[in-house]
Structure 1
Amino acid sequence: MPQLTGIIPPMVTPFRPDEAVDEEALRADVNYLVEQAHVHGLVVGGSTGEGHTLSTDELRTVVGTAVEAAAGRVPVIAGVIVDSTRQAVERARALADLGAVALQVTPVHYLFPPDDDGMLRHFSAIADASGLPVLIYNVVPWSYCSPALLTRIITEVDGVIGVKQSAGDMKLLADLLLLLDGRGLVHSAVDALLYPSFMLGADGAIAALLTAAPTLCVQLWDAVRQGDHATALDLHRRLLTVWNALEGPNLPANVKTAMALQGRDGGAVRAPMAASSPSQTEAIRRALTAAGLIG
């Protein structure tokens, strides 16, 4: 199992105005996150990275660029967001030679979810085909995996090493940690509640907030590990202010706006996603100021 703990931001994919991938901006943000924010890993091609809009060739470009830019300083996880086992296997095989240490894979997004046995076969096929460890990205509301099912998949399928647990329900996260009992990685994507997630024993976080405010998230992780709960509570409150401004149906756009306000180039978003509105931009500016991230 690769060492995938701590703060692992799901990077945005910078697009130029013509929606082509901006590799230079991606390299620059890899260097910022590693050298200045001191994150513990990176994810590319996830939801925050608009991975659902990327072709296989584009995803190869994004993953290859990030791995090359990271240069072994931190591990890179590659996102796979598609609608069938066949598509997921194709993508997994296409990424296998690029140096990513694991895949972050969603259940299917279409309206009709597989049953529990079908879900297990889906993730087993992807792990077998790629030869890479798989993290389940448990995020699709109508194809959501229960803590019991996640525990079954992680304990029965050798190549599945853990889960990124999304949605705002801390009870589900707590149940998952209880059932797994250390037999797999559990990363929190409960952006509003990273502090209690870490207190409950999450192995780290992979969440959009980490990309928008990476330095504060690293400080929060360190404070919890050091038992400095006064500092951790203060950081939680500051981060919650930022998250409340970011949350919305165009979350990747809002993360890019937060980056831009801090002097980082996140590029444009891909249609049909809307850029941050003027009111969203102002709310993000106020939140970043209140959190001490901009003057």
Structure 2
Amino acid sequence: MQTTLTGIIPPIPTPFTPDGEIDEKAFRGQVRFLLGTGVHGVCVGGSTGEGHTLTADEFERLMTICAEEVNGKIPLVAGIIANSTREAVQRARRIEKLNVAALQITPVHYLFKPDDAATLGHFKTLTESVKPPIVIYNVVPWNYLSPALLVRIMQELPGVIGVKQSAGDLKLMADLLLDVPAGKVVLTAVDALLYPSFALGAHGTIAANPAAAPTACVALWNAVQRGDHRSALELHKRLLRFWNTIVGDNLPACVKYALTLQGCPSGAPRQPMPAPSEAQKAAIAPALRHLLEFGGGTLSVAAE
């Protein structure tokens, strides 16, 4: 199993049937589609995968399927969204038998926010209780960890190998990159600003845009790595226009629609998340077509 977390690592959407069950055939198809686009890793159970809705059994099953399909070709990241240290440990232990490169784990996300010492303790217990290394998924608005605290956790806990920095503040991303300890990684989930994130030195991304338009995001990453900023800037503009059509409270559903348009059926969202509206679909299709004209890939299914 490759373990280096770098480049484009899409969080795989979870395809559901209309009655809310997991569509395993469609899920396998998504993994194969992503592998074919040249992505550098995949993540199961993240926000784009509606991981907050998954039971422990469902999470384990999806991880098992993905490990089978990936078969060590690229790193597999397990997304764990849990409201207690104990629950996070339990989920991690259920997949210990699999080849997992890292665990992407959120700070606790319900109403009550622990202080900095308790947050450090949360991740300390996790590193002492589970085998794979941990990437902190810094996404919870009311429990958003500062760059200083993230750096402290990475310095004090060898088992925490990096941070997935979410939300739209590129200054916080830049501050984190300025002081990130040697050997640790910062992965961007600032979807609207992947290009400047990469240019600033982010080691890669786990984010919705790469799940929705993986070929274009791989092209963007490659352009930045080879110093072709003219192409990167053009891709950024097209990605941003596309992002503006899918971002919203039903983002995972819109990602699924974008994948379906590329010939990768991705199922329905899980209730109560709504499917894309007709207005959203009408905006997504042309923006995706415009993106893929430059970033590779094809719009292979006619928009409804």
Matches of residues 68-217 of structure 1 in structure 2 within 5 Å? 68-217=68-217
Consecutive unaligned residues in structure 1, runs of 5 or more? none
Distance between the aligned counterparts of 1:191 and 1:211, measured in 2? 11
250-259 or 123-132, which moves further after superposition?
123-132
Partner of 1:10: 11
What are the Cα deviations for residues 60-103 of structure 1, in whole angstroms up to 9, with x where unaligned? 00111001100111111001001111111111111221221110
Distance between the aligned counterparts of 2:35 and 2:290, measured in 1? 25
What are the Cα deviations for residues 171-203 of structure 1, in whole angstroms up to 9, with x where unaligned? 000000011153411000000111110110000
Offset of 1:238 from its aligned partner?
Answer: 1.0
Partner of 2:30: 29
SS of aligned partner of 1:117:
helix
194-203 or 124-133, which moves further after superposition?
124-133
Distance between the aligned counterparts of 2:92 and 2:139, measured in 1? 19
User: Is the 8 Å Cα contact of residues 155 and 181 (structure 2) preserved in structure 1?
Assistant: no
User: Is the 8 Å Cα contact of residues 164 and 206 (structure 1) preserved in structure 2?
Assistant: yes
Offset of 1:14 from its aligned partner?
Answer: 1.0
Partner of 1:63: 63
Find the partner of 1:294 among 262, 274, 299: 299
What are the Cα deviations for residues 27-59 of structure 1, in whole angstroms up to 9, with x where unaligned? 111111112x10000000000000000011100
Offset of 1:145 from its aligned partner?
Answer: 0.4
Matches of residues 237-256 of structure 1 in structure 2 within 5 Å? 237-256=237-256
Cα distance change on mapping 1:17 and 1:253 into 2, 3 Å: same
Equivalent residue letter for 1:294: L
SS of aligned partner of 1:161:
strand
TM-score (norm 1): 0.97
Percent of paired sites with the same residue:
55
276-285 or 89-98, which moves further after superposition?
89-98
SS of aligned partner of 2:35:
helix
Offset of 1:294 from its aligned partner?
Answer: 2.6
The count of aligned residue pairs is: 294
Offset of 1:158 from its aligned partner?
Answer: 1.5
RMSD: 1.2
Offset of 1:241 from its aligned partner?
Answer: 1.0
Offset of 1:127 from its aligned partner?
Answer: 2.1
Runs of 4+ in 1 over 6 A off after TM superposition: none
Distance between the aligned counterparts of 2:263 and 2:231, measured in 1? 26
Equivalent residue letter for 2:160: V
User: Is the 8 Å Cα contact of residues 64 and 99 (structure 1) preserved in structure 2?
Assistant: no
Partner of 2:43: 43
Distance between the aligned counterparts of 2:234 and 2:265, measured in 1? 28
Offset of 1:25 from its aligned partner?
Answer: 1.2
Partner of 2:233: 233
User: Is the 8 Å Cα contact of residues 11 and 42 (structure 1) preserved in structure 2?
Assistant: yes
SS of aligned partner of 1:48:
coil
What are the Cα deviations for residues 103-138 of structure 1, in whole angstroms up to 9, with x where unaligned? 000111111111001111111212221111000000
Consecutive unaligned residues in structure 2, runs of 5 or more? none
Matches of residues 256-267 of structure 1 in structure 2 within 5 Å? 256-267=256-267
Offset of 1:19 from its aligned partner?
Answer: 1.4
User: Is the 8 Å Cα contact of residues 245 and 287 (structure 2) preserved in structure 1?
Assistant: yes
User: Is the 8 Å Cα contact of residues 195 and 233 (structure 1) preserved in structure 2?
Assistant: yes
User: Is the 8 Å Cα contact of residues 9 and 206 (structure 1) preserved in structure 2?
Assistant: yes
TM-score (norm 2): 0.94
Distance between the aligned counterparts of 1:34 and 1:289, measured in 2? 21
Partner of 2:224: 224
User: Is the 8 Å Cα contact of residues 164 and 189 (structure 2) preserved in structure 1?
Assistant: yes
What are the Cα deviations for residues 124-176 of structure 1, in whole angstroms up to 9, with x where unaligned? 21222111100000000001000000001111011110010000000000000
Distance between the aligned counterparts of 1:171 and 1:125, measured in 2? 30
Equivalent residue letter for 1:40: H
